């Protein structure tokens, strides 16, 4: 049924904006939350970059994960909610609670307001970080939706926050949901075309590689997925009855090492990728740099760690058909070039 109103939280986010594009292209009206009124024009411009002039079909509410105000207004009249607002690796977090508190409490605020407003279903944007980190050597691969990250293992604060936040969401719906439905989408590294200068931490890795920044690539692998397919999976999880109460890994193909990403970029983009290094930074170098660099510190637990996972559940249950990992990576780099977002 089109014309229904959907709340998408965290409207300045990369995945959130593609979710809005998907909803608008499918006839829904969209309300989104942002913290600063000054960023409304930026959000609209990014959507136009994605091919949609939202006009009156898009509205804004100004609120914050750390505060109660604004959330009842945000969900009022909404049939569905896509909740993706959460702290991401920006380098600003100095304590573990800077990650965990807004992630957990933000989920609960959104779910509580959604329940009280009669929202049908919330689709939670979780992460691979809630599924596949902290496990000991020998743990089975590929990871799937039955797995949860082992917080007794070596887990960075970001992944810990995503794990605790998703668990808190499922616990809330089970205890206090009063009929509110929940589905979760757990993306791996998200690539695909950027819409503007504010993009995700995953894409920052591609931008750094394309710009020839020292320290890329690292001895890290991950699965990957195109942001357009992540948005499509959110829409399927929102509308398909079979998605009620389910988690879905958003991933395609097997995990890929960063050196393989570098080689792919050089092979597919030629001169445009001339600055991409194929010299892998050693683990010891990363550990040393991580002593003073918060972003690298969060990567240390992932050095040499096998993050292979499978998205077959979404494909079989929801009919999801994602693009190849190669298209996700190359289209990301091409968009960074096209929009002039690479540093000298």
Cα 178 to Cα 94, 283, 313: the distances in Å are 37, 49, 27
Among 160, 162, 244, 275, the active-site one is 162
* CB burial of residue 107 (10 Å; 0-12, 13-18, 19+): buried
3-state secondary structure (DSSP) of residue 87: coil
| 271 annotated active-site | no
Alpha-carbon gap, residue 282 to 152, rounded angstroms: 26
Q: Where are the beta strands (DSSP E) in 149-270?
A: 181-187, 189-191, 221-226, 247-250, 252-257
3-state secondary structure 92-104: CCCCHHHHHHHHH
Is residue 228 within 8 A of residue 329, CB to CB? The reply is no
Catalytic residue numbers, as ranges: 162
């Amino acid at each position: 049924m089109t014309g229904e109103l959907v709340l998408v939280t965290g409207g300045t986010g990369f995945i959130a904006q593609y979710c809005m594009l998907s909803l608008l292209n499918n006839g829904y009206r969209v309300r989104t939350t942002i913290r600063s009124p000054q960023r409304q024009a930026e959000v609209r411009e990014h959507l136009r970059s994605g091919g949609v002039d939202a006009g009156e079909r898009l509205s804004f509410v100004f609120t914050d994960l750390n505060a109660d105000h604004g959330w009842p207004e945000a969900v009022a009249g909404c049939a569905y909610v896509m909740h993706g607002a959460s702290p991401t690796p920006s380098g600003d977090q100095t304590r573990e609670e800077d990650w965990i508190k807004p992630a957990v409490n933000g989920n609960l605020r959104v779910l509580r307001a959604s329940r009280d407003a009669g929202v049908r279903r919330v689709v939670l944007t979780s992460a691979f970080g809630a599924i596949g980190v902290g496990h000991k050597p020998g743990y089975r691969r590929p990871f799937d939706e039955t797995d949860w990250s082992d917080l007794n293992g070596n887990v960075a604060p970001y992944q810990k926050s995503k794990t605790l936040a998703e668990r808190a969401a499922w616990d809330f719906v089970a205890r206090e949901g009063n009929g509110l439905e929940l589905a979760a989408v757990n993306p791996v590294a998200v690539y695909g075309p950027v819409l503007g200068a504010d993009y995700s931490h995953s894409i920052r890795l591609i931008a750094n590689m394309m710009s020839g920044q020292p320290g890329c690539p690292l001895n890290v692998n991950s699965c990957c997925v195109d942001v357009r397919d992540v948005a499509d999976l959110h829409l399927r999880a929102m509308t398909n009855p079979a998605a009620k109460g389910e988690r879905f890994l958003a991933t395609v193909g097997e995990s890929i090492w960063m050196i393989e990403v570098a080689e792919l970029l050089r092979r597919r983009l030629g001169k445009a990728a001339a600055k991409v290094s194929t010299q892998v930074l050693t683990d010891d170098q990363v550990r040393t740099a991580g002593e003073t660099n918060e972003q690298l510190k969060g990567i240390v637990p992932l050095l040499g760690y096998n993050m292979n996972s499978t998205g077959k559940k979404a494909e079989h249950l929801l009919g999801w058909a994602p693009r190849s990992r190669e298209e996700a990576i190359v289209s990301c780099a091409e968009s960074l070039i096209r929009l002039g977002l690479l540093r000298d």
